[in-house]
Structure 1
């Protein structure tokens, strides 16, 4: 792989930016300054350094975020703040995108990757990936409403798949679903004549929030995800 392409793929900068770094003697290759942006390197074994730190090549990258409310799940938007703005500087954002979606006013677990194949596996309706939400309700919820949620409800011409509900108290539940329809949780509770006043996704497949704090980002491995 060419040195400039390697640096771009690793998120050091754009092609023009890394060419400037190379020409300004900012890049070391095997402990020596390299000013040849076309130099071919072994992306695994060649030691490339920038700012005294080795640049490690990773074709695919995975990060999990404890999303705050007030941000939409998109890579860019002309009106609203996006979840990309919650990612700190150290995150390699090249080709990164959020997997699935959380509503603007929803908190919780959100995965970012540049691995399109994995993203498809996690969001395909055929894969039935569990997603658990903590839901605070406006009204008390009874056993009859819980049974309806577990059996499937009509959310506007679509009957949801069977779900699992754990009742925490009269106005709080953990809702486990395998789908990701637009505003699905809110629509499901509306279908049983209730209203969501707070929503947080706590798990997504194998991923959990663990002891993360609101707004925190962690880099993870593919094995952590699926």
Structure 2
């Protein structure tokens, strides 16, 4: 691996910043100061230091975020703030991206990473990764509504949802008569949850994703906050 790429991927700085750091002789490889970022190093064997501190190479990062409404699940956008915009400079050299998407007005769990293989596995229809949402809807569901949603519902000409799971939290909510439910689905079609409830003549008033696979949203994360996954959490996501 090229030294400049190693340094950028280790969070030392952008490629431009790394170039300046190298010029100032702040990087050593096996005890020798190096100014040329084009040289190749062995990230597993060579000892790379920045200002005499050993750099521990970390090729991938995995970030759990509690996405707020008004922020889009994209890497860049000219009109709206993105989930990437919420990250601090520590992660800007890793080229992370959101795994899947949440609608702009949907809150909750979203995973950010630069690990393409993990992202593919979590999003692949063949893997059937469950996503659980907390939903506030305009009116209580009837038993028939629940059965319809759980057994699969036709959305559009060529799409029938897979079996879902509905958990009714309260049929007698005091919040303007709104009902509250959890819905678990294994797909992620455009506006799918909203469209499913619309198909049973209901309306989603609030939507928040709380799980993705075995990963549970950290309740200590406030809207817009994030943290890296623990090793235990990451192990739960791997196939």
- Please report the TM-score for the alignment, with normalisation by the length of structure 2: 0.86
Q: Within 5 Å, give how 1:128-147 maps onto structure 2.
A: 128-147=128-147
Deviation at 1:124, TM superposition (A): 1.3
Aligned to 2:175: none
Q: Within 5 Å, give how 1:163-174 maps onto structure 2.
A: 163-170=164-171, 171-174=179-182
Q: Within 5 Å, give how 1:155-170 maps onto structure 2.
A: 155-157=155-157, 158-170=159-171
Aligned to 1:111: 111
Gaps of 5+ in 1: none
Pick from 180, 183, 187 the counterpart of residue 179 of structure 1: 187
Between 1:123-132 and 1:138-147, the stretch displaced more is 138-147
**Would the aligned equivalents of 1:10 and 1:92 in 2 still touch at CA under 8 Å?**
no
Q: 1:3 to 1:68 in 2, by over 3 A?
A: same
CA distance in structure 1 between the aligned counterparts of 2:106 and 2:51, rounded to whole angstroms: 38
Provide the aligned C-alpha RMSD in A. 1.9
Deviation at 1:53, TM superposition (A): 4.6
Q: Within 5 Å, give how 1:75-94 maps onto structure 2.
A: 75-94=75-94
**Structure 1 residue 217 corresponds to structure 2 residue 220:** no
Between 1:59-68 and 1:189-198, the stretch displaced more is 59-68
Q: 1:124 to 1:40 in 2, by over 3 A?
A: closer
Deviation at 1:193, TM superposition (A): 0.7
Q: SS in structure 1 opposite 2:81?
A: coil
Deviation at 1:52, TM superposition (A): 5.8
**Would the aligned equivalents of 2:13 and 2:93 in 1 still touch at CA under 8 Å?**
no
Q: SS in structure 1 opposite 2:197?
A: helix
Gaps of 5+ in 2: 172-178
Cα shift readout 1:35-62 (whole Å, capped 9, x = no counterpart): 3434443312333233565322122221
CA distance in structure 2 between the aligned counterparts of 1:53 and 1:135, rounded to whole angstroms: 48
Q: SS in structure 2 opposite 1:90?
A: helix
Deviation at 1:28, TM superposition (A): 3.7
Q: SS in structure 2 opposite 1:77?
A: coil
Between 1:167-176 and 1:151-160, the stretch displaced more is 151-160
Q: State the aligned residue count.
A: 226
Q: 1:93 to 1:155 in 2, by over 3 A?
A: farther
- Please report the TM-score for the alignment, with normalisation by the length of structure 1: 0.91
Q: Within 5 Å, give how 1:1-226 maps onto structure 2.
A: 1-30=1-30, 33-50=33-50, 53-157=53-157, 158-170=159-171, 171-214=179-222, 215-220=224-229, 221=231, 222-226=234-238
Between 1:17-26 and 1:64-73, the stretch displaced more is 17-26
**Would the aligned equivalents of 2:9 and 2:93 in 1 still touch at CA under 8 Å?**
no
